[in-house]
Amino acid sequence: MAESMTNKGVHPKVTLVETTYAKGIRLTKKQMKPYAACLDRLPGLGKWFLTITAADSLAGAAQGS
């Protein structure tokens, strides 16, 4: 399904993640800050309804800065 999706004519980069994640792991507020900048929450719709913008701002976050 994802391979037929587009956003403004651009196909998403999709990879299957088969890693099992540990439960209970949380990011600190400092670690979460670069990711939170990419999230746009809609007022009145709860924390699960959001739009994720481009990951360009996450380049430093992936390197642990």
State the pLDDT confidence band at 3, using cuts at 50, 70 and 90: low
Summarize pLDDT for 8-53 with one digit per residue, the tens. Answer: 888 877 788 899 989 999 999 999 888 888 888 888 887 778 888 8
Give the whole-angstrom CA distance, residue 16 versus residue 20.
12
Q: Where are the domains of the chain?
A: 25-65
Q: What is the pLDDT at residue 65?
A: 46
Higher pLDDT, 57 or 29: 29
Q: Which residues have C-beta within 8 Å of that of residue 53, sequence separation ≥ 6?
A: 38, 39, 40
**pTM of the complete model beyond 0.85:** no
Integer Cα distance of 5 and 52 in angstroms: 15
